[in-house]
Amino acid sequence: MIQALLDGILTGAIISLGAIGLTMVMHILRFANFAYAETLAIGAYVALVADRLFSALVPVFDAALAPLTLSVSLLLALVVAMAVAGASAVVIDRLIFARIRARADALSMVFASFGVALILRNVISLIFGHHPQLYSQDIAMARVLSLDPLILIKPDQVFVLMAALVLMAAFHLVLTRTTFGYALRAVAENPALAQVSGVNLKRMIVAVWLIGGGLSAAAGVFYTLTNQLTPMLGHTFLLPVFAATIVGGIGSVYGAVLGGFIVGIASGLSLMVLPSGYTPAMPFLLILAVLLIRPQGLFGEDVR
């Protein structure tokens, strides 16, 4: 029970990170972006390359920071991955979404994002192969927290949870304490009014893609730190991340964070009753439950 809860919280932190950007994009650009979760995979693979590169250039960086399997070069790679994934989100928007946005309705954007996701996922497969990859070949030993009931936790998992919380807290500070954050919230609240008040909408859209892409990349790297990486990473996280935004209410950043933890914990706990093969269906059941009971989600306001 406690073990399932613990694992659920960890997955939840990763889903939350991914859902923050998605909920902002869905609210400001008003379309469900099916290509969004691919930024998790882009981030994770960029980090894989950057990690090898840094380790080769500066061998000292390759040493794991005990008790973690994480190395300095991977930490640097994380930063690179966040930047590259954010930039790639902006580029994809420029190349495809912005052009469709200019003359078609939101559903054409949903449709296009569907195609973009398929292209991204398979380009990644072509470049890196279908086989699972790892950041570190070191075996991460789990620490026994308690023997009865048996609770195991890896130091890496603690790090991931902490790092995710730090990133979310940092974003919270940006949102509430800076002029930029204020403008961002204004755009999310009412794009037209924000523009009248002198907020540059185009620049804000770029910022949203950058932040969303960056946070998703972090989610992808954190996931890979404790699991295997395959090109299906984005596809695996797509439904959980969408479920988190719907549970939290589309447009609500805090809702997305809470929703992510709810989806993660629910999936973790479901393992106690159902075989693990059914886990991918859990987010869908949560979506159905939320739509039945409270369609606007926990913190959302507009659903029509």
Binding site for another protein (CB under 8 A): 26, 31-32, 34, 96, 99-100, 104, 106-108, 110-112, 114-119, 121-123, 125-126, 130, 235, 238-239, 242-243, 246, 250, 275, 277-281, 283-285, 287-288, 291-292, 295, 302-304
Question: Quick one: 183 or 239, whose CB is closer to another protein?
Answer: 239
Q: How far is the CB of 147 from another protein (least distance, A)?
A: 32
| Distance (Å, whole) CA 230 – CA 185 | 35
Q: How far is the CB of 292 from another protein (least distance, A)?
A: 6
Strand-pairing partners, residue 133, are: 229
Question: Quick one: 99 or 177, whose CB is closer to another protein?
Answer: 99
Question: Quick one: 59 or 129, whose CB is closer to another protein?
Answer: 129
- Which segments of 139-189 are extended strands (E)? 143-146, 151-153
Question: Quick one: 214 or 264, whose CB is closer to another protein?
Answer: 264
Q: Are 244 and 263 in contact (CB under 8 A)?
A: yes
Sign of the alpha-carbon dihedral angle for 191, 192, 197, 202: positive
Taking residue 111's Cβ as centre, other Cβ atoms within 10 Å add up to: 15
Q: How far is the CB of 8 from another protein (least distance, A)?
A: 18
Q: Are 209 and 93 in contact (CB under 8 A)?
A: yes
Give the pair of three-digit tokens for residue 213. Answer: 């892409």
Q: How far is the CB of 206 from another protein (least distance, A)?
A: 20
Q: Are 27 and 191 in contact (CB under 8 A)?
A: no
Question: Quick one: 65 or 291, whose CB is closer to another protein?
Answer: 291
Residue found under tokens 């469900």: 32
Give the pair of three-digit tokens for residue 46. Answer: 């960029």
Residue found under tokens 């072509």: 126
Question: Quick one: 114 or 178, whose CB is closer to another protein?
Answer: 114
Q: How far is the CB of 238 from another protein (least distance, A)?
A: 7
| Distance (Å, whole) CA 82 – CA 216 | 8
Q: How far is the CB of 293 from another protein (least distance, A)?
A: 11
